[in-house]
Amino acid sequence: MEKTLVILKPCTIQRSLIGEIVSRFEKKGLRLAGMKMIWLSDEILSEHYAHLKEKPFFQRIKDAMSVCPVIVCCWEGVDAINVVRTLTGATNGRNAAPGTIRGDYSMSVQENIVHASDSPETAAIEIKRFFSDTEIYDYKLNNLSSLYANDEF
């Protein structure tokens, strides 16, 4: 099974949407492998958003990501990286499809509720960026046979 990283952004904490957003991933059938609250530093955000460092909004998104603590989550499931990106929706909340998290809760390209890893390579790097090995738990869900056919996992 795949693991992927999700960050509940400061806008989600400020808008009291933590439970609603976590519940989207839970109800889909993903397994929560790790979760914690952290206050992100400019240094870790520079690394996390390095692909945007030439953009005019680089400092602004880093500032927005550090107005308060965030919640980092590691979710696991079959094809979890794509499943979570699909649930998350398009970057700009105004363009994101209804039914997606950003489509349902965001009016903004910046204040767009969650970060989600976009490939197996970035998921592996991002999980290591925010979690130590002992913070990722490999317990089994006892409802796997209700989530998947036995040749799917």
Note whether 116 and 84 are within 8 A (CB).
yes
- Asked if 115 is an active-site residue, the reply is yes
Sheet with 114-116, edge to edge strand ranges: 31-38, 70-77, 2-8, 114-116
48 makes contact, choosing from Mg ion, ligand IDP, none, with CB < 5 to 8 Å by partner type, with none
**Subset of 75-94 contacting ligand IDP (CB under 6 A):** 91
57 makes contact, choosing from Mg ion, ligand IDP, none, with CB < 5 to 8 Å by partner type, with ligand IDP
Least distance CB 81 / Mg ion (angstroms):
12
Rg (CA), the chain: 15
112 makes contact, choosing from Mg ion, ligand IDP, none, with CB < 5 to 8 Å by partner type, with ligand IDP
Q: Closest by alpha carbon to 45, among 23, 27, 62, 28?
A: 62
Burial label, 6 (beta-carbon count in 10 A; 0-12, 13-18, 19+): buried
Smaller CB distance to ligand IDP: residue 122 or 148? 122
Least distance CB 122 / ligand IDP (angstroms):
9
Identify the residue among 115, 123, 127, 131 touching ligand IDP (CB under 6 A). 115
Helix, coil or strand: residue 126: helix
d(CA 9, CA 16): 11
The half-sphere exposure of 138 on its side-chain side, counting CA atoms within 13 A, is 4
The catalytically annotated residue of 115, 116, 123, 131 is 115
82 makes contact, choosing from ligand IDP, Mg ion, none, with CB < 5 to 8 Å by partner type, with none
Query: Which parts of this chain interact with Mg ion (CB under 5 A)?
Result: 118
Query: Which parts of this chain interact with ligand IDP (CB under 6 A)?
Result: 52, 57, 61, 91, 109-110, 112, 115, 118
Active site residues: 115
